[in-house]
Chain A
Amino acid sequence: MSRRDFLSGAFRGRNVALAATGALAWSHLVDESRGATLSPRPPGARDENDFLAACIKCGQCVEACPFDTLKLATVEDERATGVPYFVPRSTPCYMCEDTPCIGACPTDALIDGTAIDEARMGLAVLSDQETCLAFQGLRCEVCYRACPLMGKALRLEFRPQERTGKHAYFLPVVDSEACTGCGRCEHSCILEEAAIKVLPRELAKGQLGSHYRFGWKEKPEVSRDFTAPERAPDLPAWEHSMDRVLEAMDDLSGIEEP
């Protein structure tokens, strides 16, 4: 078939209809292989959508990982097929200083030069207070001790324990600014099913409406610049308004003149 035959055939109605149907089915297949489950990504990964677009699925990060943490999602996974992920509960990221996975990425889908402490693979979330031992008033702290950024990414918050009246709760609290999502906490949790889990950040994080102002945070600024109005109104509010309306009507009279 010559190029001309190909191009002249290309725009016949039937072919266009076939191509459109094909494209729709194809798009659906792509959606399917994107999968339903979101997973923690390797260190330095671009934001999820950009990462899915830029990853060429070569598996070089997987090969470079000395702890066999990273996996490539297979077809039967409910995850984006062929893209690297990890399951912190079985093997967390041990946060190598030299980040061999990032170095191995040929496309920069894992952004070159990302320091491991700046990596955001996911976000640890204390997802179940009802089973977490610390919330029962027991001293556990295993996740806290396992955290490579202990005291920063995972802090302990002390609260009085009402049941005994003389003990304290040692509650693990995640700081999303510092947490890398490495999953050492989830991996170390001593429960049958971890009460602290690493979730993809876009799944875990809330978003505050931009109009919110917290008085106690902005108090210093407000009190510095705020001055009371010099003249307190001596008339009730409605009388003020009435004056304004009358003044306005005086102005209107000018309009009627030719």
Chain B
Amino acid sequence: MSWIGAHRYWLARRITQLCILTLFWMGAHLHLGILTGNLSASHVFRTVPLADPFAVLQILVTGQSLAGTILLGALIVAVFYAAVGGRSFCSWVCPVNPIADLAAYLKRRFQIRGQFRVAGSTRFWILGLTLPLSAILGVAAFEWVSPIAMIHRELIFGAGLGLLAAAAILILDAFVVRRGWCGSLCPLGAFYSLLGRRSLVRIGFEAERCDRCGDCVVVCPESQIIDYDRMTARGFIDSGQCTNCSRCLEVCPRDAYHFTLRSRRSAAQHLDGGDHHATRSAA
């Protein structure tokens, strides 16, 4: 397969990330109204509001009342990611993703060994701390220290020292902890994991095609979710931690992975809510 074919989703993600960033930049500097604001809150064509639901939640627990615009924006984004998989944000939108992927690539390419291990559950701890801490400090606790927001703002509103946060994440991921930021620490990723637990869009898996070569495990940024037995039973990767980055689709030599929708699969194989729904609509 051609290089482009073997990287079609990778390319699509990079293009998406770049386009979003460019549109925000043009909104700020050329007053082009396609996207104005940034990933914390924005408007599409100066009309449809979008907002980071996690940031809005943090502000709400500080006791501030917020305008309907921002609540609607957060709702739109939350519903979208609940449907397509929360962590699609991580691999398709977040500006930290290329940095984390670069670090992971360097680590593989030069066989850099990680010295420290941090439990993947740490990010859920940090997520759990964010809300009470916001209430105590009286400001959105993660938003005020978030390297994601920092890097993103610097890219849009003028490059300054905030870009050091990008270097810090690169060094952390490449030399200190494998997938350190996205895989262990980031509470926004953890938030989107929970939001997208029951998402509609899933990476489907055909066990009969798989010869367990393990190529997918090597490239997967959340390799703990590649659980052969569970995937075989479900027919798809059933974890909120999957970022839909689709690297597994690209590297699988036997095409065992494909995009699918949760309802169809679960209707065929499981007696859960989706099953009832499918039976009723069939009848």
Chain A residues engaging chain B, CB cutoff 8 angstroms: 1, 6, 9-10, 15, 19, 22-23, 26-27, 29-30, 33-34, 49-50, 52-54, 56-60, 62-63, 72, 74-76, 81-82, 104-108, 112
Contact = CB atoms under 8 A, between A and B. Distances in A.
Nearest to B164: A75
A59 B133 contact: no
A1 B59 contact: no
B43 interface: yes
Interface stretch (B145-153, B209-217, B256-264, B266-274): B145-153
B255 interface: no
Contacts of A53: 59, 62-64, 138-140
A62 B24 CA distance: 13
Nearest to B73: A106
Contacts of B154: 74-75
Nearest to B138: A53
B56 A63 contact: no
Contact of B133 (A26, A74, A75, A104): A26
A30 B41 contact: no
Per DSSP, chain A at the interface is: helix
A57 B143 contact: yes
Contacts of A104: 36
Nearest to A110: B67
A121 B184 CA distance: 41
Contacts of A34: 139, 144
B158 interface: yes
Contacts of A33: 144-145
Interface stretch (B14-22, B100-108, B121-129): B121-129
A214 to B, nearest CB: 37
21 contacts: A22-B129, A26-B141, A33-B144, A52-B139, A54-B59, A56-B41, A56-B51, A56-B59, A57-B38, A57-B40, A60-B37, A60-B42, A60-B43, A74-B161, A81-B150, A104-B36, A106-B37, A106-B49, A106-B51, A107-B67, A112-B67
Chain B's interface size range is 35 or more
A33 to B, nearest CB: 5
Interface string B34-74: 00111011110000010110011001001111110110010
Contact of B36 (A1, A23, A63, A81): A63
B178 to A, nearest CB: 17
Contacts of B67: 105-108, 112
B29 to A, nearest CB: 9
A15 B129 CA distance: 13
B200 interface: no
B21 to A, nearest CB: 14
A112 B70 CA distance: 13
B120 interface: yes
A51 to B, nearest CB: 9
A30 B218 CA distance: 37
B162 to A, nearest CB: 4
B50 to A, nearest CB: 9
A27 B144 contact: no
A75 B160 contact: yes
B161 A75 contact: yes
A27 B129 contact: no
Contacts of A106: 37, 41, 43, 49, 51, 67, 69-70, 73
Given A56-B56, A62-B28, A107-B41, A23 B133 contact: yes
A9 B27 contact: no
Contacts of B160: 74-76
A174 B59 CA distance: 36
Nearest to B143: A57
A30 B141 CA distance: 7
B169 to A, nearest CB: 14
Contacts of B153: 57, 59, 72, 74, 82
B31 interface: yes
B228 interface: no
A53 B66 CA distance: 11
A10 B124 CA distance: 10
A30 B139 contact: yes
A19 B137 contact: no
A33 B43 CA distance: 26
